[in-house]
């Protein structure tokens, strides 16, 4: 009988290994034999370069922490913010004839900073919550905290609200009239449609994350609107009125993918970073930060993006 080829032996060995492992849990990723990965991949027709790339994916894990910060600013005159039609409860929602403006795009007149841009970690897609190599201990205390989400004068006080999937929310109504808070969540995030009496509150638990921001509204006062994002990871930020943001203790030494979203434009794609034009396909920003690095992104978005 002819002797089996080397490739045949490798396949037989791999099959025997898989069969033997059926009765017990798979070992953690760090116990994968990198040499065997390369041998098997090459045996099945892959190149040595592909084998090395596969090994790098298996072995990739953070080597420290970094800080990501920056600003988002508008190039050009900001579009005029339209006034909202207040057709009910004017004494509460528009006291003394107060003009209520849309918050779909808010630009600071002094700095050209864009408010309420949200930047959040999107990859790894399955974030290892609680893994000390990926989640800095500074985030542990707030992982299941209860946050507050308020509405006053018929406005959601936080127009772009970001939270973690294990956190809880106390939805407040600080007005002397009733509100209806409708969270049109997507993905694995729970929806809610709750009527909240005057000076009252209701609890909410998102339960899971969403891939992108979703809407919040009030059926009683239909001009009221806001946006919310829920993520498993703690690595997200919403820009302040001057367009600035900061995310501390970001995993370093591994490729990361962030996504960047703004209500009027949705995912930001055509931008300038440090004066150079970049294309972020569907808002995807890819970075590999180094341990202790303080990475600053000065991002400029042309006004044409918002028209």
pLDDT of residue 60: 85
Mean pLDDT by 10 residues, the chain (307 residues): 47 44 46 46 51 48 97 97 96 94 97 98 94 96 97 98 98 98 98 98 98 98 98 98 98 98 98 96 98 98 96
Separation CA 38–CA 58 (nearest Å): 11
How many other CB atoms sit within 10 Å of the CB of residue 34? 14
1.10.3210.10, 2.30.30.30, 2.60.40.1180, 2.60.40.10: CATH of 63-87+99-129+234-307: 2.60.40.10
pLDDT of residue 46: 54
pLDDT of residue 135: 97
Q: Has this prediction a pTM greater than 0.75?
A: yes
pLDDT of residue 47: 53
For residue range 137-178, what is the model confidence (pLDDT) as tens digits?
Answer: 999 999 999 999 999 999 999 999 999 999 999 999 999 999
Distances from the Cα of 185 to the Cα of 24, 47, 120, 215, 230, angstroms: 38, 44, 17, 7, 9
Separation CA 228–CA 65 (nearest Å): 27
Structural domain spans, the chain: 6-59, 63-87+99-129+234-307, 144-231
How many other CB atoms sit within 10 Å of the CB of residue 26? 8
pLDDT of residue 19: 42
Assigned CATH topology for domain 144-231: Immunoglobulin-like (2.60.40)
Contact 148, 292 (CB under 8 A): no
User: Identical fold at 63-87+99-129+234-307 and 144-231?
Assistant: yes
The distance in angstroms from the start CA to the end CA of the chain is: 75
pLDDT of residue 290: 98
Tokens 């003394």 locate to: 96
């Amino acid at each position: 009988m002819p002797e089996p080829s080397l490739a045949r032996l490798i396949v037989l060995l791999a099959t025997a290994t898989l069969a033997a492992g059926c009765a017990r849990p798979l070992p953690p990723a760090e116990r994968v034999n990198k040499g065997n990965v390369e041998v098997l991949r090459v045996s099945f027709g892959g190149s040595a370069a592909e084998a090395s790339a596969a090994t790098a994916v298996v072995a990739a894990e953070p080597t420290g922490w970094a800080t990501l910060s920056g600003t988002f600013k508008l190039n050009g005159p900001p579009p005029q913010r339209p006034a909202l039609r207040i057709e009910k409860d004017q004494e509460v929602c528009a006291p003394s004839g107060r003009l209520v403006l849309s918050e779909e795009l808010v630009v600071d007149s002094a700095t050209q900073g864009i408010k309420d841009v949200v930047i959040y970690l999107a990859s790894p897609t399955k974030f290892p919550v609680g893994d000390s190599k990926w989640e800095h201990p500074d985030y542990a205390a707030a992982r299941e905290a209860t946050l507050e989400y308020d509405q006053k004068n018929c406005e959601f006080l936080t127009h772009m609200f970001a939270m973690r999937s294990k956190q809880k929310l106390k939805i407040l109504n600080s007005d002397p009239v009733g509100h209806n808070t409708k969270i049109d969540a997507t993905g694995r995030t729970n929806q809610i449609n709750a009527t909240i009496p005057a000076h009252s509150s209701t609890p909410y638990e998102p339960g899971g994350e969403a891939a992108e921001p979703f809407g919040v509204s009030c059926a009683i006062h239909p001009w009221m609107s806001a946006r919310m994002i829920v993520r498993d990871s703690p690595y997200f930020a919403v820009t302040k009125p001057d367009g600035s943001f900061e995310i501390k203790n970001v995993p370093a030494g591994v490729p990361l993918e962030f996504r960047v979203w703004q209500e009027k434009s949705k995912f930001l794609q055509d931008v300038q970073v440090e004066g150079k034009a970049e294309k972020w396909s569907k808002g995807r920003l890819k970075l590999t930060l180094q341990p202790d690095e303080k990475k600053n992104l000065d991002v400029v978005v042309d006004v044409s993006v918002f028209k």
